Homo-oligomer: A and B are copies of this chain.
Amino acid sequence: MYTIGIDLGGTNIVAAVIDEEYKFLAKAKTPTAMPRTPEEIFDDIALVCKKAVEDAGLKMSDISSIGLGTPGTVNDGEIEYANNLGFDHIPAADMIKERLGDFPVYIENDANCAALGEAYAGCGHGCGNFVAITLGTGVGSGVIVDGKLVTGVNCAGGECGHMVIVVDGEPCTCGRRGCWEAYASATALINQTKAAMEEHPESIMHELAAEEGKVSGRTAFDGMRRKDAVAVAVVDQYIKYVAAGVTNLVNALQPEILCIGGGICNEGETLLRPIRRYVEAERYSIYSVKQTQIVKAELGNDAGVIGAAILYKVK
């Protein structure tokens, strides 16, 4: 049995054909090339799907289902609203069927697809209770309970980046103040790094940023490796914020595995070891033998397209 997964992003449309063991047979992509109409975008979605099927040496009749991961909120085959694609109540499942045939089509938020991909085909190794968080431009997340995505009453569940960890704190893009995302995203780390650099002209981070041409999510970590005290303080504080949200999720859900992905997770154990230490000290379940394992995401950018391709398992 083969299925198609589609990852519809603001920059690229990726389609992949995978088998039952979550292995890629083929992958095709095309630029999203915004701004375009939904019709134009779905025409291209159909084209990359056909290309991937052809590259896999298959026919469309070999395909048993199609899954699409999209930014924004989704409801029953419709993309309700996706700001960066300019989508407002787009009947995505129908538009795919019109172009590719009468397949079972599943639509889901892209962060949820990525969580699903990691849970089944990545670091989750098929465990049923799993949380994935992504430390990128924002803080994405997906929650899996008993092998199913927690999408809630309106398919908008799993927005754990928008849990407030500092009442009346930093403004968040969502309109709240003090969201975890405003403290634990790569964007937040860059802001925290810039603020510390401004206060400390003596910090080696000025030199590192000049070399790299910008302040990035790596600047503070690189400064820490060079023993710069200001960089050490930035990283410590950032990790404390990440760990606060991770501990919140552990106390609320006690997943078997919680995985951390996104650009910042390239720091590997430098990031994970102190997070585990914080969670161990602060979790509520200190007397339990079994505890949540905190691991690094394994699939990188492929998580979303694999998750989309296996939506049929959880819908």
Binding site for B on A (CB under 8 A): 73, 75, 80-81, 129, 143, 145-146, 148, 150-160, 162-167, 174-176, 183, 240-241, 244, 247-249, 251-256, 281-282, 284-285, 287-292
Contacts and interface: CB of A to CB of B under 8 A. Distances in A.
Contacts of A165: 164-167
Contact of A251 (B155, B162, B287): B162
A151 B254 contact: yes
A248 B163 contact: yes
A129 B153 contact: yes
A288 B154 contact: yes
A148 B146 contact: yes
A254 B156 contact: yes
A154 B254 contact: yes
B81 A287 contact: yes
A290 B153 contact: yes
Contacts of A288: 73, 75, 80, 154-156
Contacts of A156: 254, 284-285, 288
A267 B150 CA distance: 32
A51 to B, nearest CB: 32
A240 B154 CA distance: 24
Contact of A129 (B146, B152, B183, B291): B152
Contacts of A282: 175-176
In the A-B complex, the 9 residue pairs with the closest CB atoms? A152-B254, A156-B285, A154-B288, A163-B248, A81-B287, A157-B254, A154-B290, A153-B256, A159-B251
Contact of A244 (B73, B164, B255): B164
A167 B239 CA distance: 12
Given A164-B244, A247-B176, A289-B154, A284 B254 contact: no
* Residue in A163, A244, A290 whose Cβ sees the most chain B Cβ within 10 Å: A163
B291 A157 contact: no
A287 B148 CA distance: 24
A99 to B, nearest CB: 25
Contact of A159 (B145, B162, B252): B252
B287 A153 contact: no
Given A145-B146, A150-B145, A282-B176, A252 B287 contact: no
Contacts of A255: 152-153
Contacts of A251: 159-160, 162-163
Given A146-B148, A156-B254, A175-B282, 6 more contacts: A154-B290, A160-B252, A163-B248, A163-B252, A167-B183, A167-B241
